Amino acid sequence: MASHRKSRTPGTRVAGIRTPALATAALTSVALLSQTAEAAPGEDRPSLEEVEKKVGDLYRQAESATEKYNAAKEKTGKQRKRVDTLLDDVAKRTQKLNEARSELGSYAAAQYRTGAGMPDTATFLLAETPQDIFDQRQVLDRMTGRQKAAVDDYVTQQTETMKKRQEATESLRTLTETQGDLKTAKATVQKKLADARELLSKLTAEEKARLAAIEKRKQEEAARKAAELARQQAEQEQAREEAAQQGGGASEGSGSTGSTGSTETPPADSSYGTKAEKAMAFARAQIGKPYVWGATGPGSYDCSGLTQAAWKAAGVSLPRTTYDQVNAGTTVPVSQAQPGDLVFFYDDVTHVGIYIGNGMMIHAPKPGTYVREESIYYDGDSAIHSVVRPA
């Protein structure tokens, strides 16, 4: 998915709205960042930080729409398979119904040849619904056992065929709806990304340099926090080892700080570690491949597509979207994150990365970027939603 509030290259976060030509390049740059082109000269303009946030918000909205697109695409695929299965079933049942109708027709023809008047079995061939047939009780009473058996088979085939046709019709309706959701989500993603590109295209060289400086400061702060988390985790591991040596059975979460939540989560076992190594090895092999929204590999990925593919390489099946992946395991405190765990971001759970230790993760950030290693604090502490151990 996308990193929402960070611009990884100069000039990746801006606002740009058409404005009247101004006297100097500096004033032109400011005007391009303005929300209203007609604002009076001298009116306060948004800072680059505010512009960066606006573009970041567009990426966030695109991410949210991407996850909705992923969910709709998955649902559409499943619904299409169901429709195909039902239509195949209808075709088979229709064939059986025709065979049952043919058998009834043979009885009707025999009655006609013997001059029995209105053929009893022909009455059922004229019936339009199973209920019509059941209403012909007086006719049924005059039938032989074989005739009744033929009618029973015909009624059964007709009833089941009608039922399956109704199910197929309903499934087709649902498929149409999910295809509509898919189309809407796709259009939303494309619109948000187009808006972001439009804003970015308005940056001047000076603004790009200033945004690059802002980004550098954020990266430095994220690296500092990652190092602090690594220190905390090292202290926890040391405390566990000392407790094991002393045979004291100390809490597995010892050494955690007040911000890390419960201290009762056990460390990952050796089986998990083996799977996690496979997942991380796969993720590392994808570094440098482009982020493409809705992509699941092998040439490109979005965030949840990468985590799904990485854990699949370890023999673990994860759901497609971040919304479902966040529930596909055990939630652990950030301070107790182990390599291989999934780190989710934002209140709407629209981004995910694979934790690799020392406060770092591998993730597919956003359009225009590539799969890479980055601090889990790339967008600040508050951006982290939760950490989940998937196996």
pLDDT class of 346 with cuts at 50, 70, 90: very high
Instruction: Give the residue-averaged pLDDT of 104-109.
Output: 62
- Within a 10 A sphere around the Cβ of 325, how many other Cβ atoms? 23
Residue 339 to residue 332: CA distance in whole angstroms: 12
What's residue 258's pLDDT? 35
Instruction: Give the residue-averaged pLDDT of 71-83.
Output: 90
pLDDT class of 148 with cuts at 50, 70, 90: low
CA count, 13 A, side-chain hemisphere, 121: 25
What integer best gives the mean pLDDT of the chain?
A: 78
**Minimum mean pLDDT range among 16-20, 133-137, 154-158:** 16-20
**Minimum mean pLDDT range among 69-83, 108-122, 232-246, 273-287:** 108-122
What's residue 103's pLDDT? 67
> Does 140 have pLDDT greater than 70?
no
Give the three-state DSSP class for 88: helix
Contact 194, 58 (CB under 8 A): no
**Minimum mean pLDDT range among 10-19, 82-91, 105-114, 272-281:** 10-19
> Does 167 have pLDDT greater than 70?
yes
Q: What percent of the chain has pLDDT over 90?
A: 41
Length of the chain: 391
Residue 378 to residue 223: CA distance in whole angstroms: 8
58 or 53: which leads in pLDDT: 58
> Does 219 have pLDDT greater than 50?
yes
Give per-residue burial for 66-84: e unless 16+ CB within 10 Å, then b.
bbbbbbbbbbbeebeebbe
Interval 243-295: pLDDT, tens: 888 875 444 444 433 333 344 555 566 789 999 999 999 999 999 999 999 99
| Catalytic annotation, pick one of 218, 289, 363, 366 | 363
Q: What percent of the chain has pLDDT over 70?
A: 70
| Catalytic annotation, pick one of 240, 351, 366, 389 | 351
> Does 106 have pLDDT greater than 80?
no
| Catalytic residue status for 303 | yes
What's residue 207's pLDDT? 84
Tell me the H-state helices in 137-247.
137-141, 145-200, 205-246
> Does 100 have pLDDT greater than 80?
no
Number of H helices, E strands in the chain: 10, 6
Give the phi and the psi of residue 143 in degrees, each rounded to 5: -85, 155
Helix (H) or strand (E) holding 331: strand 330-332
| Catalytic annotation, pick one of 15, 133, 303, 364 | 303
| Catalytic residue status for 4 | no
What's residue 156's pLDDT? 80
Angle between the 270-285 and 303-313 helix axes, to the nearest 10 degrees?
A: 130
Residue 204 to residue 28: CA distance in whole angstroms: 9
Residue 388 to residue 44: CA distance in whole angstroms: 44
Q: Give the distance between the most distant pair of CA atoms in the chain.
A: 106
327 or 367: which leads in pLDDT: 327
Out of 101-110, 176-185, 344-353, give the one with best mean pLDDT: 344-353
Residue 354 to residue 387: CA distance in whole angstroms: 10
What's residue 287's pLDDT? 97
Contact 354, 362 (CB under 8 A): yes
Residue with tokens 């001059």: 115
| Catalytic residue status for 385 | no
What's residue 209's pLDDT? 87
What's residue 34's pLDDT? 41
